[in-house]
Amino acid sequence: MLPGFFILYMVVWSLASLLAVYLMARYRGSLELFRPSYWRFLFQDWKVLTFVVAVTGLIAIAPYTGDPTWDYVDAFFMSVLAFTTAPWAVGTLYLSACRRVSWAHTYIAICIWLFSASWSYDLYLVIRDGAYPNTWFANMLASSVLYISAGLLWSLDWREDQGVVFGFAQPDWPRRGSAFGRISWFAFPFMLLVTVMMASFLI
C-alpha cells in the first residue's frame, strides 16, 4: 500500500496531466508542438546524432550506477520524451515569460516538462516495484536540469545578423536551424554538463 502522501501526490499530478491532455486537444491548432515545422526543426542531423549519443550513454551506464531505479527502460523513454518535447516546452516557457502565449500553453508546457522529467519516472517505478520511489524528488531536480539543458541545446541556432541565438527567441520559431559547425562552441557547455552529471553516478 502506498503511503497517504504519495497517493495524494499521484492523484494531483494525474489530474493535472489529464487537464493538460484536454487542453492539448482543445488548443491543438495553436500549439507549435503539433506543427510539421516543429518536427522539421527538431529532426536535423546534428540534433538526432547528439540525441542518439546521449540516449546510448544513458542506457549503457544504467547497470553500473548503483541506482536501482535507473534501468534500460526509464533511461530510454525519458530520453525520448526529452528530445521530442524539451525544445518546445523550454521555448514555450520563454514565450510565456515574455507574455506572448496564453496561460493554457504555459500550463501544458509545465505539465509536459514535469511528466517527462519526473511523473513518467514515478509512474513506471510504481508499476515496476509496487511502491512510490523514494528518489522521486531528487530525480525531479536532476532530471529537470537535464531536461532544460536539452531544450536549450536543441534550440541553438545561428543567424547572420545576430550570431548564435536560441531559436525560440526569434519571431519565426520554430524553423529548421543552421548546421552544427556554426553553434558548436555554444553547444559544448550543455553537452559537458550532461556528461558530468552522467559520470557522477559512476563515481
Residue 147 to residue 173: CA distance in whole angstroms: 20
Report, as an integer, the average pLDDT of 140-145. 94
- pLDDT for res 169: 95
pLDDT above 60 for 64: yes
Report, as an integer, the average pLDDT of 40-47. 96
Taking alpha carbons only, the member of 89, 96, 91 closest to residue 110 is 89
Report, as an integer, the average pLDDT of 164-180. 93
pLDDT above 60 for 1: no
**Torsion from C-alpha of 174, 32, 121, 78, nearest 10 degrees:** -40
Beta bridge partners of residue 164, listed in sequence order = 158
pLDDT above 90 for 197: no
The pTM (predicted TM-score) of the whole model is: 0.94
- Set of cell numbers at residue 113: 516538462
pLDDT above 60 for 42: yes
Average pLDDT along the chain: 93
More confident residue, 193 or 80: 80
* pLDDT band, very low/low/confident/very high, at 171 (cuts 50, 70, 90): very high
- Set of cell numbers at residue 71: 534501468
Split into its structural domains, the chain has a count of 1
Report, as an integer, the average pLDDT of 66-85. 94
* pLDDT band, very low/low/confident/very high, at 195 (cuts 50, 70, 90): confident
Question: What is the span of the domain harbouring residue 88?
Answer: 4-200
- pLDDT for res 202: 64
Residue 116 to residue 82: CA distance in whole angstroms: 6
pLDDT per residue over 147-167, tens digit each?
999 999 999 999 988 999 999
* pLDDT band, very low/low/confident/very high, at 78 (cuts 50, 70, 90): very high
pLDDT per residue over 18-35, tens digit each?
999 999 999 999 999 999
* pLDDT band, very low/low/confident/very high, at 67 (cuts 50, 70, 90): confident
